[in-house]
Amino acid sequence: MAWIWLEAALPLGIIAGMLCVMGNAQYYIHKAYHGRPKHIGNDMWDVAMERRDKRLLENFSASSSN
């Protein structure tokens, strides 16, 4: 009677383990594709700043090559 909790704990452990595996797989696939970890909470301001930074770097590299 003392081992009945194991009947419920084992499937819950398997489910929790698979959730961890899926989350880590998603993280590493995103990191491999984009070259950096995913930015959590990326709002309109962050997107605008990334575009601005990209444009500034392109302009800087174009002017330095001349």
3-state secondary structure string, 6-57? HHHHHHHHHHHHHHHHHHHHHHHHHHHHHCCCCCCCCCHHHHHHHHHHHHHH
- Per run of 10 residues, the mean pLDDT along the chain (length 66 residues) is 84 96 95 86 91 93 78
pLDDT of residue 23: 94
pLDDT of residue 30: 92
pLDDT of residue 63: 82
pLDDT of residue 64: 78
Domain boundaries, the chain: 3-64
Strand (E) or helix (H) holding 63 = helix 44-65
Residues 31 and 23 sit within 8 Å (Cβ to Cβ): no
